[in-house]
Structures are given as structure tokens and as C-alpha cells.
Amino acid sequence: MPDKPKLAFYWCAACGGCEESVVDLAEDILFVVDNVDIIFWPVGLDFKRKDVEKYADGEIVVSLINGAIRSSEQQEMVKLLRRKSKVVIAYGACAQYGGIPGLANEFEKEEILKWVYEDSPSTHNEENVRPQLNYKVNGSEVYLPELWNVVRPLDKVIDVDYYIPGCPPSSKLLKEAVLVLLSGKLPPKGTVLAPDVALCDECSRKDTKPTDLAFKEFLRPNLSIIDPEKCILSQGFICMGPATRSGCGALCVEGNMPCTGCYGATSRVKDQGAKILSSIASNIEGKSEKEIDSTLNGIPDPVGTFYRYSLAGSILRKKVSI
């Protein structure tokens, strides 16, 4: 019997939700393991780096890599997986755009470390101890990976063939991607393996979204009640639906929360944050500078709102130096 295609999963700077989406395949995981050999999946099975090194270049049929890249170890591992794999898929918002970890590009690494190890209210660290790259203990030397100053999406570090969006991607998208790969009918390189229409198109509230929005104020979902029958954006809550790719089934809106944009942009949009920002700015009812400022003050964290998942992959990319 011929060997089954080899498949690898790897986890870089991410929360672990993408790994959960693999587990969420539930009984479909049996379909996956019937059809492929999972040869590397550190979060689920005890594989080591040397297990990957022993494969010939290109021997792994597909590597699904989640998470952004911000450490020396992540960079080494994704370069190794790239060399050993025919196809590399950026799996999830962090690999595709930098994701939530990419918001760290608003701060220098030193600012982050100082806050985490010295200044935050919950820190008790009188000697201001920080993790060291090398440390000798009981006659042995231990090493930690180096943290870079900047968070990068996967395709800024290695060549990427396809993208599966989402925070995390739905298990349905994962299963469909595995089916496409097994069929051998590969789409053009660079394809995002999800529908290429805006989330509003699959939203059950789309008929209540007016063509002309006129924002007087912006509201926050933790401080106001959202009407479950009406378009959330039309009520003054920032809903990223118009600038976001569909494919999730409008999960958040179905749960009566605004879309925060985790599926990224459609192919027609270059910069997701700029797209929604320009659409919102041109729909503010007041026309004087004072009125516009007062309306926009209802959005206390514009970068975290409009670029929550996409900052590191956007045209802005970062505020820090390197």
C-alpha cells in the first residue's frame, strides 16, 4: 500500500485557538487521519525538530502553519518546514496577517518587556529579573529563543502557497482545504481558501442595513444593548462586516456581537483597516471638524478596532523601528 500524503501542523506566535480548530474537526479528524499521515504536530503528539529534519526536501505534502513570526525559533522552524514541504498554508489570522500578536508592533520590545516584567500592577519582581537568552544551571546551559522587535506575518518570512483565514478558521474550511489538497486540483498560488465575498453578504441582518449610513455617535457593545434584529453597524457599533471576507457563517453577528474582522479582507481590498475606516469616515452625519471629532471620540482604540488582526500585514505594519 502506498504511503499516505504527509501533513504537518506547526504553531508560532498564536493563542492556540487554531490548534483547537483542528481538534474541533471532531469525527472528521478520523477522515483526515484515514487519508493523510500527520507527521508533525507538537501540540498534539510528541514530535521533535529532528523528526522533521530527517525528511527529504519536499517530502511533506503540506504544512499548515499558524501564528505570526516574532522569535528566532519560529523563524528557524518555518524555514525548515518550508524546505521540507511541497505546499505551505498560512493557517489563521496570525499567520496570514500577524493577528492579535501583531498589535505588539505599536510598541518597542523593550516597552513590552518592561511592562510585563516590571511595571504591570500584577507583577511582583523586586529584582527586575528578566528571561535570559542563555543561562547556566547545575552545570548545564539552557537557551531561550530570541524575541524580535517586530511581529511578521508568515509570508514576510517564507514563501506561502495558500491562506486559510479566521481566528480561528472554521473546521469546515480546514476540511475543505484538505479535500482540495487530496484531489490534486490545486487553485492558483496565493489563493485564500474561503469565499471571496464580504461578510455582509452572508449575514442574516443584511436586509436591515441602510444604503446610506449617517453616524451620529459610536457605541461600545460592553456599554450598550445591541438590537438583535437590526444591522449592528447601523446601530452605531463598529461591525467590520463590510470589509471582511465571509466563510464563518457570521458567527459573531449570530451571537449578537459585531464582527471584529478576523477573516481579513476580500481579494478586492488591499487594506482591511483603511477600507472600513474610509467608509465610516465618509458616513459621519456631522460635517464640521468639531462634530466629526466628537463622533470619532466614541472609538477609543482605532488601531485595535480597525486593525485588530491585520496591523502587521497592513500598509501601516508597525510603529516601531526595525
Query: Is 94 one of the binding residues for ligand SF4 (CB under 6 A)?
Result: no
CB 262 to ligand SF4: min, Å: 3
Query: Is 103 one of the binding residues for ligand SF4 (CB under 6 A)?
Result: no
**d(Cα 9, Cα 315) in Å, to the nearest integer?**
29
Query: Is 96 one of the binding residues for ligand SF4 (CB under 6 A)?
Result: no
Q: DSSP string spanning 48-84?
A: -HHHHHTSPTT-EEEEEEESBEEEHHHHHHHHHHHHH
Query: Is 160 one of the binding residues for ligand SF4 (CB under 6 A)?
Result: no
Which positions ≥6 away from 79 have C-beta within 8 Å? 157, 158
**d(Cα 264, Cα 140) in Å, to the nearest integer?**
45
Cβ 36 vs Cβ 61: under 8 Å: yes
Among 5, 101, 169, 241, indicate the residue that binds ligand SF4 (CB under 6 A).
241
Q: Which stretch binds ligand SF4 (CB under 6 A): 81-89, 250-258, 266-274, 288-296?
A: 250-258
> Three-class SS of residue 106?
helix
CB 142 to ligand SF4: min, Å: 39
- Map 24-46 to HEC letters: CCCCHHHHHHHHCEEEECCCCCC
CB 213 to ligand SF4: min, Å: 9
Query: Is 259 one of the binding residues for ligand SF4 (CB under 6 A)?
Result: yes
Q: Which stretch binds ligand SF4 (CB under 6 A): 99-107, 210-218, 243-251, 289-297?
A: 243-251
Q: At what angle do helices 171-183 and 28-35 cross, to 10 degrees?
A: 20
CB 243 to ligand SF4: min, Å: 9
Phi then psi for residue 176, to 5 deg, are: -60, -40
Tally the residues of the chain: 322
CB 259 to ligand SF4: min, Å: 3
Query: Is 263 one of the binding residues for ligand SF4 (CB under 6 A)?
Result: yes
Q: Which is nearer to ligand SF4, 5 or 99 (CB)?
A: 99
Q: Which stretch binds ligand SF4 (CB under 6 A): 11-19, 21-29, 195-203, 272-280?
A: 195-203
Site for ligand SF4 in 197-236 (CB under 6 A): 199-200, 203, 205-206, 209, 231-233
- For residue 210 the three cell numbers come to 441602510
Query: Is 150 one of the binding residues for ligand SF4 (CB under 6 A)?
Result: no
CA torsion through residues 49, 52, 57, 58, sign? negative
Residue nearest to ligand SF4 (CB): 241
Query: Is 193 one of the binding residues for ligand SF4 (CB under 6 A)?
Result: no
Q: Which is nearer to ligand SF4, 72 or 208 (CB)?
A: 208
Query: Is 280 one of the binding residues for ligand SF4 (CB under 6 A)?
Result: no
**d(Cα 35, Cα 188) in Å, to the nearest integer?**
23
**d(Cα 298, Cα 231) in Å, to the nearest integer?**
19
Phi then psi for residue 208, to 5 deg, are: -100, 5
Among 149, 191, 260, 294, indicate the residue that binds ligand SF4 (CB under 6 A).
260
Place of cell 452605531: 236
Among 21, 75, 85, 244, indicate the residue that binds ligand SF4 (CB under 6 A).
244
CB 103 to ligand SF4: min, Å: 15
Q: Which residues bind ligand SF4 (CB under 6 A)?
A: 167, 199-200, 203, 205-206, 209, 231-233, 239, 241-242, 244, 248, 250-253, 259-263
